[in-house]
Amino acid sequence: MTPLPDRFRPRAVIFDMDGLLLDSERVARDLIQATSADMGYPMSDDLFATLIGVPEDGNRLTLHAAFGPGFDYDALRAGYHARREALYGDRLPMKPGALAAVQAVRALGLPAAVATSTARRYAEPELAAVGILPLLETLVPRDEAARGKPFPDLYLEAARRLGVPPADGLALEDSYNGVRAAHAAGVPVIMVPDLLPPTDEMRALALAVMPDLAAVVEWLRG
């Protein structure tokens, strides 16, 4: 674990959603790979990893580059969502300690937000189903910012809605593009890895790399 600076204390916390609060990256990997294989396009774990933390417009380009312009991205998304609805509905599994982490942030008197690459029509019911939505000051989904991650727009909008300068917030992210987005916005960021391991770039951009949300909460309380 990279040591955290002792003197930095945020005035607000901005959470990513997929792979940080919700264990949705594993769900997405399994169901997208199954759907893609049914379409005749087997998808490797390495190719799926390039989709993590990227909005749909970027993933569309990535898969067209990998499989050719004839690949039906909309059919992939429709098949994935049908499978996910049948198995989970809106109640995706949470990452360990996710609800407790948001509750702890609020108990410390810090407003909480979510900035996600997922559209509101999906993000809002998913966060409501696990009890996180009522704890948030604001939700900033992909469709309410001009550009998605790795651009800074989602984090700049979250900071604006929270009423804090970006430098006074704290971002919690699991993906490379999420870390890049927070850093580009000037929001200090801690990486809590999920499917993507930390790299030298991530360690350079982040305040710290921490093993889980419980460790982040422990530091905030300290």
Residue 16 a catalytic site member:
yes
Q: Helix axis angle, 24-38 relative to 73-88, nearest 10°?
A: 130
Half-sphere exposure of residue 1: CA atoms within 13 angstroms, side-chain side: 13
Selection from 57, 58, 48 nearest residue 28 by Cα: 48
Which residue bears the tokens 């901005």? 14
Strands of the sheet containing 169-173, edge to edge, are 138-140, 112-115, 12-15, 169-173, 189-191, 208-209
Selection from 144, 152, 118 nearest residue 16 by Cα: 118
User: Any bridge partners for residue 209, and if so which?
Assistant: 191
Name the helix (H) or strand (E) containing 129: helix 120-129
Distances (CA, A) of 13 to 54, 56, 137, 192: 21, 25, 10, 14
Q: Which of 16, 153, 174, 194 is catalytic?
A: 16
Active site residues: 16
